[in-house]
Structure 1
């Protein structure tokens, strides 16, 4: 009796103990599911320790722009500039102001409308020049706000048929202080490496901030829900839209949670139905689903215990875990049924022991190679991708433990074996694959090369882009909201240009020289030439406003500076604090990019912007591009390089593992071919279909490898065993009619199950479901045609 049979016997004899241990683990570890979090905030998608992130954080602290939500109001039946609109905005603003964390609510009714003044006044009180104070008529308001240097694209759109309310929030002072300390330490990484002590300090500060951040995230979600409730009564007469980074994060989490509940349940039910159609016995339906449920529960509990956050990148881990667990269970079921049919005299528990002894090795090695695939993500320099790699390694360990320990015990406690044969409908398909791979080996290889070339061409067409708007179907309310804000109110993704005033432009008695203002004008004019650039605001906008107030006459640099110094300090900070830092002699140009711009190539846009700023006579050393747009583009630029690096490493590592499994260099290379082909084809198809490589689809290649290698190992392992007493053709035929059924059942059940994700409103889930199903079919086709053809040609009996 082999050691595997002894271990299987021990498992069966102590089945109740194993059940008790798993029940205890599910109860104990499952308790921490309460700490499981989906975090779709913008920060989770960024590489936090790179220099761009640190610089953006420094600038954010320096200019201190407020956290805000934009609420757009577009009347359907009445004019924008009307008493009805003003009444609605007043009521909505009053309700919003009641939210505890709201610092200010800004609208066209309470902002200073200084253009109404007749000439500049140094002792002005801005609050005296608002609609609330002056009660301007609708016609006056329209006239004042037409082509306004500050408020157009911010509080009123260019068509003047919609307005926006800007909801500004107070910052959490304690959390802000911790962030300040973190940035102060990380700032030193701009000029050198952090010491171990400094790194520990950062981690300690982050640990302190974590519970505060979680609390703040919950408050933000609750605030957004309250805002939706507040504005609901007004939607009878107006279209109302919410926008902002935190609104996007809230919507992402909400739709992911809905998909997890709806499609998670739907997939489980569908898989159960398919298992019944294939196996026709309750234990082969219920028990695999129990194992899948236990795997998911344990994994979610471990994520909660370990503090792993599920981001939009890793949000499909549950679906992946279903694949990993179910595949092992189906292989065990099929092998058990085949043994039961061929040896009816063997008792139920002995069949289970024999099944475990013969299938545990290929199942373990399949899990090992899949883990290697996910471990390759750890070398990525993209933090959320690294986190996804760790999460899937944990999920893989849980899946293989449940499948090889709990499932045999559950089967042993179920009624005795069935004796029915495998599904006869699939036999002709297997026979056809067997015929093709045995009689037309050369043709199979030639066709594979042609397909590989087509995949390579498609791979070359693969683009790296990311648009959050495109994460949602066009018909969804979420997409409509985000698109409206993006197109009508100056864009959705912030891009800041920080200009370091050079010594040549500084004058001792002036805050700003005429030359500096002209430089700002040049940069803003350049930005306005790009279709993708929406709202742009800087100190230059204030000089334009001063010009309009001054009867169209521009102020000299001395007049501007006199006005600046005559203004109350608090007023200066309120008006200019987000755009001018006199201590460091820096100016901030705040712009927002319209994510919905057709054909926007973010990499080309940034490169073009840098080039043309240089052509304006601005020293590139004086310019710093920061904020989310730059950070997202940075992570996108790493995606393609990261994909190549991780795939290169994974196949080297995979080759070594396969060499360990088969102890044959030739077998290792042969079994590697279908995996490379499958990955090449799925990326090639994405290229041909113009599906971009983005923050969501980056994981498809690793998934493709993980799926393909499982079936490859099972087929090759049985072929090698059968080759001991048979010719290559006979060994392949036996393998087809044993492992072949398991490959078909696994691929068909999972493909059809995940095809249901095509009904989702979340486009990444649609891609995931359909591309995963396509990957399984490609892997199946490769393992039933190319792999046996290569094995029969190159792997002979010794």
Structure 2
């Protein structure tokens, strides 16, 4: 009933695939990012690219006609900000008119009818730095359509509609659709599809392997019931409590499946080994639970702590993931202890008869395990040396780990998004965006005007201006309102107040001129310096800035030649260029680069890579430049954009994961010492865990796998699963030694049923999750591979190293 109730809540699922939500809503970088989007009216962008490898490249009538047709089609898709679309057919050509005039004409109002007209368009694009390598490639082989969208959660739908339009084109060009919003939203969609495939497949594989071991259908159904009930109740609780299912929480089912099965397999294994035809089921299950209750409790609590520790990370989805996996582990323990004995007791004797006919795989395993135990003790020195070498190599591998992530790399290389990302970033300046935002501090100007108003002699005028200053409007609006009020006063006043009002108007004009900091030539040259250093970083394909607009318009206002592509000498010259630009067909483009008071500007940075490491290198490169070339005291600089935000949450997640892993490790060590009431046993219990963690992350370093989101989360899984076998081995060894008083008999007994249960568990879970290796999404492949590796390594360390260490310390380990 509990499972049915929880299952009924699952249809209320709310899905969230936005990595931005990895950060809390009040996280400073996220708050600033959203503030910048509002300030400059920026949108998330889908990038559509057309590539033609022919002799004429993309500039041919057929290709340009298809591009024009596609652009018109995309503009009609619901959710697309059509007025801000950028492509050859929607941008202006900026050219000279009559002397001192400038012309803004559509780059491609009509599609070209012949090759000459197509080439003419290419020549126009080449003259405009704002467009080159952004909407057209330098090699003339490709062109793009930048598609701004109102809601990034609609990216997948819009991308699919664009694909349908592409299929209807009469074009031989290769079309690609990419961009971080598409990658993230597509991953979210495919992730849930994959979850619906992988979780049942993993369950099926676990079922098949258990059937191979036990050869009894009714018998092996029990662990599967526990696993499915645990997953359904946990996910139902998460959804029923109103939590959205994020990228992280979508993997709860995959993580819970092996953990929920572990305790059941231990019980089933010992029951199968103890049960004989004449046995009483109740007494056998009582003995089994009596032997296993303590180690299962220890392993469940320690595993849960490993995941609960994720609540220490500053990433909300990771906190939810850790909390509910931890809850699921404890739930699985309770369900196992209550349900499995009840289930086994209800089975008829004839249903259990087949358990006495051991399968070939069981027979081979039971013959092999004692040999493993005897060999490890006989070659104890070699075992110690071997594991010491593994630890040293693992530590070296740890030093090679590189923390890096990129949502596009969550797909296999054969995926359309990966292909699109590679192709378009080869042809263009970059499909990944970041923004370097410069702000000129207005505090001194505000204080200057406030003091001026205080000194006004006309009390009525002073009160009127003070009311304006106390309003909630921004400073620029307050100044404009003050000008209107002063002009009204000038019209109404007598001659004796005229001079004071005129002086106030002059002061406001002066303040407004100072306020428009990014209209000043020096400020634009400062931007030029930042542009150059960004290009020098080696990871930035191009930047588009306010300075580019001013220099392009200035060139066309003067000679049209390259020598006049420069910043004017005066603020008035800059203002004239910007005023001219506002008469274009796309005046709103200016406000994507600068605020209307010219006190804040955003440099659009195009990167060819979405890797966090590359974004970090760009940030560090700019920091070094600013250290050597400090900005004026009144100017500050901050980063925004999806590429930067991904870098921030990745850094916070890695730091948080490290903190949670260290905290959990310490807590589990203390628990082991307390639960075993022995420092020695506590340390021994932590050894397989420690070696497994070192080996797994050392292996990651050696194979060159980036430390990304799935790898970071695996630390908790490693901690939870690796200690399971050690606790069972040590607790059972101590219990058997109390009965026999002989270390030799203890080890002989341990390498029968207990070692068999450990081995079966490792094999069941390792093989059970092989379906994940065939998933189209890299995080699932990663989880599948490392989950299997964790089980195998921790089982081997437990069965080979722990007997040797117990033998070496038996005088202290078993002194009581």
Residues 118-267 of structure 1 aligned to structure 2 (within 5 Å): 121=101, 126=104, 128-132=105-109, 137-146=117-126, 148-170=128-150, 217=153, 219-234=154-169, 237-267=172-202
Q: Which whole-Å deviations, capped at 9, do the CAs of 1:398-443 have from their partners, x for residues lacking one?
A: 3223322333333333332332357110123311221134334444
1:287 aligned onto 2:235 = no
TM-score by length of 2: 0.83
Corresponding residue to 1:433 among 342, 363, 372: 372
What secondary structure does 2:691 align onto?
A: helix
Corresponding residue to 1:612 among 606, 621, 625: 625
1:484 aligned onto 2:464 = no
Take 2:127 and 2:704, find their aligned partners in 1: how far apart are those partners? 39
How far did residue 465 of structure 1 move?
Answer: 1.3
How far did residue 747 of structure 1 move?
Answer: 0.8
- 1:576–1:742 CA distance, 2 compared to 1 (3 A): same
- Give the count of matched residue pairs: 724
* Conservation of the 8 A alpha-carbon contact between 2:615 and 2:647: yes
What is the root-mean-square deviation in Å for CA atoms of aligned residues?
A: 2.9
How far did residue 270 of structure 1 move?
Answer: 2.1
How far did residue 459 of structure 1 move?
Answer: 1.3
Take 1:413 and 1:234, find their aligned partners in 2: how far apart are those partners? 66
Take 1:64 and 1:462, find their aligned partners in 2: how far apart are those partners? 39
Corresponding residue to 2:636 among 606, 622, 637: 622
- 1:539–1:141 CA distance, 2 compared to 1 (3 A): same
* Conservation of the 8 A alpha-carbon contact between 2:61 and 2:112: no
How far did residue 531 of structure 1 move?
Answer: 2.7
Give the structure 1 partner of residue 745 of structure 2.
730
Corresponding residue to 1:521 among 506, 524, 528: 528
Take 2:99 and 2:732, find their aligned partners in 1: how far apart are those partners? 90
Give the structure 1 partner of residue 315 of structure 2.
382
Take 2:42 and 2:99, find their aligned partners in 1: how far apart are those partners? 30
Give the structure 2 partner of residue 43 of structure 1.
20
1:787 aligned onto 2:802 = yes
1:270 aligned onto 2:205 = yes
Give the structure 2 partner of residue 309 of structure 1.
244
Give the structure 1 partner of residue 74 of structure 2.
96
Take 2:577 and 2:400, find their aligned partners in 1: how far apart are those partners? 56
- 1:401–1:482 CA distance, 2 compared to 1 (3 A): farther
Take 1:254 and 1:488, find their aligned partners in 2: how far apart are those partners? 28
What secondary structure does 1:693 align onto?
A: coil
Residues 581-660 of structure 1 aligned to structure 2 (within 5 Å): 581-583=595-597, 585-595=599-609, 601-619=614-632, 622-660=636-674
How far did residue 785 of structure 1 move?
Answer: 1.6
Q: Which whole-Å deviations, capped at 9, do the CAs of 1:140-199 have from their partners, x for residues lacking one?
A: 10100115211123211222211112223346xxxxxxxxxxxxxxxxxxxxxxxxxxxx
What secondary structure does 1:580 align onto?
A: coil
Residues 315-394 of structure 1 aligned to structure 2 (within 5 Å): 315-341=250-276, 344-394=277-327
- 1:102–1:495 CA distance, 2 compared to 1 (3 A): closer
**Structure 1: 5+ residue runs without aligned partners?**
1-23, 172-215
How far did residue 331 of structure 1 move?
Answer: 0.6
Give the structure 1 partner of residue 454 of structure 2.
none
- 1:141–1:117 CA distance, 2 compared to 1 (3 A): farther
Question: Which moves more between the two structures, 58-67 or 494-503?
Answer: 494-503
- 1:284–1:508 CA distance, 2 compared to 1 (3 A): same
- 1:618–1:704 CA distance, 2 compared to 1 (3 A): same
Take 1:425 and 1:147, find their aligned partners in 2: how far apart are those partners? 76
Corresponding residue to 1:82 among 12, 36, 60: 60
Q: Which whole-Å deviations, capped at 9, do the CAs of 1:73-99 have from their partners, x for residues lacking one?
A: 224667422222232223222322322
Give the structure 1 partner of residue 695 of structure 2.
681
How far did residue 221 of structure 1 move?
Answer: 3.5
Take 1:119 and 1:307, find their aligned partners in 2: how far apart are those partners? 66
How far did residue 375 of structure 1 move?
Answer: 1.4
* Conservation of the 8 A alpha-carbon contact between 2:437 and 2:640: yes
1:469 aligned onto 2:408 = yes
How far did residue 103 of structure 1 move?
Answer: 2.6
TM-score by length of 1: 0.84
What secondary structure does 1:591 align onto?
A: strand
How far did residue 739 of structure 1 move?
Answer: 1.2
Q: Which whole-Å deviations, capped at 9, do the CAs of 1:330-361 have from their partners, x for residues lacking one?
A: 111111112204xx433234433433333233
- 1:785–1:478 CA distance, 2 compared to 1 (3 A): same
How far did residue 574 of structure 1 move?
Answer: 0.4
Residues 665-676 of structure 1 aligned to structure 2 (within 5 Å): 665-676=679-690
Q: Which whole-Å deviations, capped at 9, do the CAs of 1:524-571 have from their partners, x for residues lacking one?
A: 112122331123111011023214423122444322212434665997
* Conservation of the 8 A alpha-carbon contact between 1:464 and 1:639: no
How far did residue 653 of structure 1 move?
Answer: 0.7
What secondary structure does 1:316 align onto?
A: helix
* Conservation of the 8 A alpha-carbon contact between 2:401 and 2:707: yes
Corresponding residue to 1:531 among 514, 538, 541: 538
Take 2:254 and 2:513, find their aligned partners in 1: how far apart are those partners? 65
Corresponding residue to 1:720 among 734, 750, 769: 734
* Conservation of the 8 A alpha-carbon contact between 2:543 and 2:603: yes
Give the structure 2 partner of residue 575 of structure 1.
589
Give the structure 1 partner of residue 770 of structure 2.
755
Residues 13-92 of structure 1 aligned to structure 2 (within 5 Å): 24-75=1-52, 79-92=57-70
Take 1:116 and 1:383, find their aligned partners in 2: how far apart are those partners? 55
- 1:573–1:729 CA distance, 2 compared to 1 (3 A): farther
Question: Which moves more between the two structures, 505-514 or 547-556?
Answer: 505-514
How far did residue 485 of structure 1 move?
Answer: 3.4
Take 1:768 and 1:736, find their aligned partners in 2: how far apart are those partners? 30
How far did residue 252 of structure 1 move?
Answer: 0.9
* Conservation of the 8 A alpha-carbon contact between 2:61 and 2:111: no
How far did residue 492 of structure 1 move?
Answer: 3.4
What secondary structure does 1:498 align onto?
A: strand
What secondary structure does 2:437 align onto?
A: strand
Take 1:120 and 1:69, find their aligned partners in 2: how far apart are those partners? 38
How far did residue 508 of structure 1 move?
Answer: 5.3
Take 1:150 and 1:707, find their aligned partners in 2: how far apart are those partners? 55
* Conservation of the 8 A alpha-carbon contact between 2:553 and 2:580: no
How far did residue 518 of structure 1 move?
Answer: 0.9
- 1:741–1:776 CA distance, 2 compared to 1 (3 A): same
Give the structure 2 partner of residue 193 of structure 1.
none
Take 1:228 and 1:411, find their aligned partners in 2: how far apart are those partners? 55
Take 1:119 and 1:274, find their aligned partners in 2: how far apart are those partners? 84
Question: Which moves more between the two structures, 778-787 or 397-406?
Answer: 397-406
Take 1:619 and 1:560, find their aligned partners in 2: how far apart are those partners? 20
Q: Where in structure 1 do 4 or more consecutive aligned residues deviate above 6 Å?
A: 133-136, 502-507, 569-572
Take 1:782 and 1:443, find their aligned partners in 2: how far apart are those partners? 14
How far did residue 780 of structure 1 move?
Answer: 0.5
Give the structure 2 partner of residue 188 of structure 1.
none
* Conservation of the 8 A alpha-carbon contact between 1:682 and 1:701: no
Take 2:419 and 2:111, find their aligned partners in 1: how far apart are those partners? 35
Structure whose CA Rg is larger: 2
* Conservation of the 8 A alpha-carbon contact between 1:675 and 1:779: yes
Take 1:235 and 1:253, find their aligned partners in 2: how far apart are those partners? 32
Give the structure 2 partner of residue 455 of structure 1.
394
Q: Which whole-Å deviations, capped at 9, do the CAs of 1:455-505 have from their partners, x for residues lacking one?
A: 112112222111233322222222102223334343233221112347999
- 1:401–1:490 CA distance, 2 compared to 1 (3 A): farther
- 1:119–1:730 CA distance, 2 compared to 1 (3 A): farther
Take 1:236 and 1:747, find their aligned partners in 2: how far apart are those partners? 54
* Conservation of the 8 A alpha-carbon contact between 2:23 and 2:316: yes
How far did residue 758 of structure 1 move?
Answer: 2.3
- 1:117–1:782 CA distance, 2 compared to 1 (3 A): farther
What secondary structure does 1:113 align onto?
A: strand
Give the structure 2 partner of residue 741 of structure 1.
756
How far did residue 30 of structure 1 move?
Answer: 0.6
